[in-house]
Amino acid sequence: MPRRACAVRILNRMTIPLTGAQYEIEAGDYRATVTELGAGLRELTHAATPLVTGFDADELPPHSAGQLLAPWPNRIDGGSYAFGGATYHLALSEPARGNAIHGLSRWIPWTLVAHHRGEVTLRSVPHGQQGYPFAVQVDVTYRLHAQAGLHVTVSAANRGSRPAPWGLGQHPYLAVASPVVDDCQLTVPADRWLPVDARGIPSGAPRDVSGTDFDFRTARKLGDTRLDHAFTGLRREADGRAWVRLEGSGTRTALWADATFGWLQVFTGDPLEPEHRRTALGVEPMTCPPNAFVSGEDLIVLQPEGTVRCQWGIRSFSPNETR
């Protein structure tokens, strides 16, 4: 009996980028692109100068660039945690270290709620996932302002019938005109840093930055300092914002976080490939420290119908601006 050839039917010649639909927004000299995949920040520029490490629409975010991290940021030791009298086991998404890392929402498509010239809102309801049997709806709005740059508002609401543990982070890599961060001036308004073990899990209580390589409360050259640490005890301005500033080659990029973010993870990228190593500075606003699902430290517990709103942003400053 003759073998029948297999027929392949091409339904649509249009290709879909790996990061899904691309939502572009603009205001003044600012431009940004947000992706359907994970509601991530793929690009942010001011006057055509990148403020964050960008990547191609058909490329997965390198080293979590721009990803929104929910329902937890950073790591969970062994992927296991206890909550409400039960123990849950998450997939080990950092297998080399045996951890669950950076939440569940970054690899799923988010639903478009609204898209205008200067802003876009996306929504996710990651209910019933392995190790996280809770239904927390998350909405994120990216809004550009001609003067104030990018404002990001993340709102979470527990749509389930029982309390849910929750935390948030986001993973931009701040960029300036300098090709490497070594010669950049860095300001991190934090009084304490968190020691961790070789697996990135906290190994003790936060320590005073005074007299250490981690004291960037006053702007100073980064040099060869290696950072992959969480900072807390954040000093805030009158409006409640804590500011991280990176300045180099006559340009300055700054990230702010409101009072819901009690932690900042700062990463110089030393373990990365040569094309990414120390070329930008990972600055992650986080509502809780690493392993918060286990330790309970600064963990948000959303009661049924409970809500929380978090805000952060990025803007460019000219060299003569004092702030």
| Predicted pLDDT of residue 4 | 45
Q: 62-108+154-274+284-317 in CATH: which number? A: 2.70.98.10
| Residues 311-321, mean pLDDT to the nearest whole number | 88
Torsion angle of the four alpha carbons 6, 11, 12, 17, in this order, in degrees rounded to the nearest 10:
-70
Q: CA nearest 154: which of 211, 37, 70, 81?
A: 70
Q: How confident is the model at residue 8 (pLDDT cuts 50, 70, 90)?
A: very low
Asked if residues 209 and 80 have their Cβ atoms less than 8 Å apart, the reply is: no
Burial state string for 271-308 with b = 16 or more CB within 10 A and e = fewer than 16: ebeeeeebbbbbbbbbbbbbbbbbbebbbbebeeeeeb
Q: Which residues contact 210 (CB under 8 A, 6 or more apart)?
A: none
Backbone angles phi, psi at 64, to 5 degrees: 70, 20
| Predicted pLDDT of residue 321 | 72
The residue with tokens 């001609």 is: 146
Torsion angle of the four alpha carbons 185, 187, 188, 189, in this order, in degrees rounded to the nearest 10:
170
What does the pLDDT look like over 253-310, one tens digit per residue? 999 999 999 999 999 999 999 999 999 999 999 999 999 999 999 999 999 999 999 9
Could you give the CA distance from residue 204 to residue 209 in angstroms, rounded to a whole number?
14
Residue 273 to residues 56, 63, 230, 278, 315: CA-CA distances in angstroms? 17, 10, 22, 10, 27
| Residues 13-30, mean pLDDT to the nearest whole number | 92
Q: Is the pLDDT of residue 7 over 80?
A: no
| Predicted pLDDT of residue 323 | 59
pTM of the model: 0.93
The residue with tokens 């990216």 is: 142
Q: Is the pLDDT of residue 93 over 90?
A: yes
| Residues 152-168, mean pLDDT to the nearest whole number | 97
| Predicted pLDDT of residue 129 | 86
Could you give the CA distance from residue 27 to residue 106 in angstroms, rounded to a whole number?
26
| Residues 123-131, mean pLDDT to the nearest whole number | 85
Q: Is the pLDDT of residue 11 over 50?
A: no
| Residues 102-112, mean pLDDT to the nearest whole number | 96
Q: Is the pLDDT of residue 2 over 50?
A: no
Q: Which amino acid appears at position 243 of this protein?
A: W
DSSP string, 166-191: E--EEE-EE--SSSSSTTSEEE--EE
Q: Is the pLDDT of residue 70 over 70?
A: yes
| Residues 230-235, mean pLDDT to the nearest whole number | 98
Work out the mean pLDDT of the chain and round it to a whole number: 94
Cβ atoms within 10 Å, residue 137: 16
Q: Is the pLDDT of residue 151 over 50?
A: yes
